[in-house]
Amino acid sequence: MTACAAYVEREEDRLTELDSPIGDADHGGNLRRGFAAVTEALAAEQPATPGEVLTGAGRRLVSKVGGASGPLYGTLLRRTGKALGDTPQVSREELAEALATAVDAVAQLGGARQGDATMLDALYPAVEGLRTSYAAAAEAAEGGAAATEPLQARKGRASYLGERSIGHRDPGAASSALLFAALAEVAG
């Protein structure tokens, strides 16, 4: 979570720039605010298990991020944490399993599917890649984010643009790739 917060802070402007032509130019700020709150909470609370870290972080994101990405990433982290339960040490395979459940919950919450040009286009490949390695997860997420460029957005603000959303990388897919890059750096 600390690495995620650092990556988001470093890439805030790029995420906001991606959210400018097809959104409302707040994605970088939304995530920076959310992850800053996560870092603050973790410093104060020191949760006992990885599952607790993630459920607490998810709750923070929901309460601090106003945009669509708050509840979506909040659900991702909370559901991953819940699936991990009180396991004291989490293997890569266990994390992949837990994330798979959580990504399905994100899809259900947002009513989106793979190919709709959302964060799911990075998250689904990331989870598949994670079954192999942390590096493979990060690479697959980046590939998934790049693959949103030729797609027309079907969900979220970008979908209001119809065909004019084609040719732009989805900001949420880009931030998902960033979070998996952070994970690969610290865990890989």
Which residues are near ligand ADP by CB under 6 A? 19, 23-24, 26-27, 30, 67-69, 72, 110-112, 118-120, 155-157, 170-173
Using CB distances below 5 to 8 A depending on partner kind, what does residue 54 bind out of Mg ion, ligand ADP, none?
none
Please state, as a whole number, how many other Cβ atoms lie within 10 Å of the Cβ of residue 84: 23
**170: contact with Mg ion by CB under 5 A:** no
Q: Classify residue 176 by burial, with Cβ atoms within 10 Å: 0-12, 13-18, 19+.
A: buried
| Residue number, nearest CB to ligand ADP | 172
C-beta of 19 vs 139, nearer to ligand ADP: 19
Structure tokens at 6: 């650092």
CB of 185 to ligand ADP, least distance (A): 22
Using CB distances below 5 to 8 A depending on partner kind, what does residue 92 bind out of Mg ion, ligand ADP, none?
none
Rule CB under 5 A: choose which of 4, 8, 15, 26 binds Mg ion.
26
- Cα–Cα dist 27/141, whole Å: 18
Site residues for Mg ion, window 67-106 (CB under 5 A)?
Answer: 67
- Cα–Cα dist 144/29, whole Å: 23
C-beta of 56 vs 155, nearer to ligand ADP: 155
Region label for 111, one of left (φ > 0), alpha (ψ between -120 and 50) or beta (otherwise):
left
Structure tokens at 95: 């994390």
Using CB distances below 5 to 8 A depending on partner kind, what does residue 130 bind out of ligand ADP, Mg ion, none?
none
- Cα–Cα dist 39/132, whole Å: 29
CB of 49 to Mg ion, least distance (A): 33
